[in-house]
Structure 1
Amino acid sequence: MEINTQYILDNMVKYINIQSPSGKTAEIIEELKKQFEDMGIKTIKTKKGALIATIEGENDDKQKTISAHVDTLGAMVKAIKQNGRLKFVRIAGGTFNTLEGANVFVETRHGKKVRGTILPVKASTHIFPSNSRNDSRTEENMEVRLDERVNSKEDVLDLGINVGDYIHIDTLTEITESGFIKSRYLDNKAAVGIVLGICKYFKDNNIKPKYTVNFLMSNYEEVGHGISFVPEKTEEFIAIDIGTVGGEQASDEFSVSIAAKDGVTPYDYELRNKLVDIAEKNNISYNVDVYNSYSSDATQGIKMGHDFKFACIGPGVDATHHYERTHIEAIENTTKLLIKYI
């Protein structure tokens, strides 16, 4: 099986560079809609702003749906301080420690972007006592320093910045010569690239799947309600998400991870075994893993009452919800498993 790995990586980077924190995903959805339709793939948008791209199969009565969420972690202005600094809140998971020193853009309601940096309130070791270095990183002692001449709340308001504005965090994306991919938001832009690579494979090779396949690009996964609408003929649902690497986890950065259980529920045993059998038959490197602090679009769909067999797979990723890393081989193994499954 020849897949276009460079196409997958190029699209992964392209969509990493389109900032899409939960709640602000219209731009990325519109770009995906255009790209699917340029490949001749029909799309529909849900009322909540998700996108469904469909490749018709020989059997349209029993459909497969594969999800990849486009929303990421992020931050939002909580308050404007009297000294011109910004208090902020996180959107979705992660910790404040991961954001220290990050360069950002604050985007106003009218689309203006103002550069800044996330710092502790007591950042300077020349000014504050050395014991301040041990302060916990929390909402109360982290702030955004704007790269503008602002010394008051009024100065910030004059820039057009207000409470509720999104704060976009630099992703620091890099692909090394040794094949490692480092970036914020591999969760879940890696899956976006994989979906586009799968679609290109079927279109370039003029292959019609046995069953109609829907690719659901969900937009609220990180905040727990990504899957509110699923095509009604869906028999099997697979969420593409990251496999967590580290500690006692079985996953690694070179293989596709197949979830047996997450923090909410075991996954469907029959569908999980089907995926393992496909991987073994096709010499695809995989790991089965159990995730404790984790859920996926598949989990959310089941909790919302949808009726289908459900699974979750994805490339193994180190340092999830931090400065994440995976390897090209994990991307390839995930793509190959899904193509064989389809």
Structure 2
Amino acid sequence: MDNKKYVDYILEQAENLINIDSPSGYGEGVTQYLLDEFGKMGYHAYRTGKGSVIADLGGEDENDAILLEGHCDTLGAMVHEIKADGHLKLTNIGGMQANNAEAENVRVITKFNGIYEGTCQLANPSVHVNGSYGTTPRTWDVMEVILDEDVKTKADAEALGIMAGDYVCFEPRFRVTEKGYIKSRFLDDKLSSAILMGYARYLKDEKVATKRRIYLHFTIYEEVGHGGCAPVPQGVTEAWSVDMGCVGQGLSCTEHQVSICAKDSGGPYNYDVVKTQIRLAKENGIDFAVDIYPHYGSDVEATLKAGNDIRHGLIGPGVFASHGYERSHVDGVENTFRLIKAYLG
């Protein structure tokens, strides 16, 4: 079967998801989009009390069901303080790095007064004025948002309805190059969430009846550590995080491959699950790598820590420059999609 139809759909959905602001905890927009899309496909999907989305893809064996987890929350920031000059001091959400946020366009989402644009900059950001520009370590204590408004004082910013606790969202800058490279902020994990949507579309379009019941779980608190800390549907015996695969020094994965994680900072993944993933990748000619991620934690580990008695695994397309301006490739998307199909049908 030609997978191009579903890869194209995945790329379309990845761009749509990425362009919906959703730093951890601010998930209403992206989860409503998911609910609408799964409804169009004819699936039952619902929002949990925590705010995530669970979709039931059907399948025969309800007592040996599998849960595939992706997350639709991203890195970002919040207003920590309105300074005397009306500029905004930030606190980061998740692993957003100050030196990676510099010179990015942002949106400040107020609770009652709309959205304002601005730019995240070093305080006193002109090289022609600040003699310490090149030697100043970038931390959140020295970064600020300059609003694209006529703001000169704290009172001016407050008059716009801005207050501490307002979300600050960073421009993703999504694009796909002619050579198939996918570049954007927040590929972690909206690219893999789109792969799960593509798999759901495949099951529906091709009228595939899977032997196991399949559930999808899209969380909105993964970047702060507790996205997967939730009950799982009855009958689930196995769960995977379908998240980004790490690319970097000391690892073998590239953006063209599906990464199978054997161990991360939370410890090893289930041996039988990992072994089966590797065997099926080999048998089906799927380009893959097996790696250990030194600084990584996943939703499915949080699911286990919540007390769920399940087997667990982690796969995803290789992503370069994680938590920065990230890059993957359509080959990695297709290989991840194919491994899910090989494992589940």
- TM-score, normalising length: structure 1: 0.98
* Residues 221, 296 of structure 1: 8 Å contact kept: yes
Q: Distance in 1 between matches of 2:39 and 2:308?
A: 28
The answer to whether the aligner puts 1:105 opposite 2:107 as a matched pair is yes
Question: What aligned pairs does 1:138-217 form with structure 2 within 5 A after superposition?
Answer: 138-217=139-218
Q: Distance in 1 between matches of 2:124 and 2:154?
A: 19
Which of 299, 307, 332 is the aligned partner of 1:330? 332
* Residues 46, 229 of structure 1: 8 Å contact kept: no
CA shift, 1:229, in A, is 2.1
Deviations 1:84-128 (A, max 9, x none): 100001100131111000001111102611110000013111112
Q: Distance in 2 between matches of 1:341 and 1:49?
A: 29
CA shift, 1:2, in A, is 2.6
CA shift, 1:14, in A, is 0.5
Root-mean-square deviation (Å): 0.9
Q: Distance in 1 between matches of 2:247 and 2:124?
A: 33
| SS of corresponding position for 2:281 | helix
Where does residue 2 of structure 2 map in the other structure?
2
Deviations 1:189-226 (A, max 9, x none): 10121011101111001111111000011111111101
- Give 5+ residue unaligned stretches, structure 2: none
| SS of corresponding position for 2:54 | strand
Look up the equivalent residue of 2:245 and give its one-letter code: G
* Residues 261, 267 of structure 1: 8 Å contact kept: yes
Where does residue 120 of structure 1 map in the other structure?
122
* Residues 239, 311 of structure 2: 8 Å contact kept: yes
Which of 69, 72, 81 is the aligned partner of 2:71? 69
* Residues 20, 28 of structure 1: 8 Å contact kept: yes
Q: Distance in 1 between matches of 2:112 and 2:283?
A: 53
Q: Distance in 2 between matches of 1:341 and 1:268?
A: 15
Q: Distance in 1 between matches of 2:199 and 2:286?
A: 16
Look up the equivalent residue of 2:152 and give its one-letter code: N
* Residues 85, 152 of structure 2: 8 Å contact kept: yes
Look up the equivalent residue of 1:202 and give its one-letter code: L
| SS of corresponding position for 1:44 | strand
Q: Structure 1 stretches (4+) deviating beyond 6 angstroms?
A: none
CA shift, 1:142, in A, is 0.4
Deviations 1:24-61 (A, max 9, x none): 00111111011111111111221101111011112112
Which of 23, 34, 47 is the aligned partner of 2:25? 23
* Residues 281, 288 of structure 2: 8 Å contact kept: yes
CA shift, 1:184, in A, is 0.2
Q: Distance in 2 between matches of 1:309 and 1:250?
A: 25
Look up the equivalent residue of 1:19 and give its one-letter code: D
Which of 217, 232, 242 is the aligned partner of 2:234? 232
Where does residue 287 of structure 2 map in the other structure?
285
Look up the equivalent residue of 2:2 and give its one-letter code: E
The answer to whether the aligner puts 1:320 opposite 2:331 as a matched pair is no
The answer to which of 225-234 and 312-321 deviates more is 225-234
The answer to whether the aligner puts 1:137 opposite 2:109 as a matched pair is no
- Give 5+ residue unaligned stretches, structure 1: none
The answer to whether the aligner puts 1:36 opposite 2:46 as a matched pair is no
| SS of corresponding position for 2:22 | coil
The answer to whether the aligner puts 1:84 opposite 2:94 as a matched pair is no
| SS of corresponding position for 1:140 | coil
1:33–1:111 Cα change, 3 Å? farther
Which of 219, 234, 252 is the aligned partner of 2:254? 252
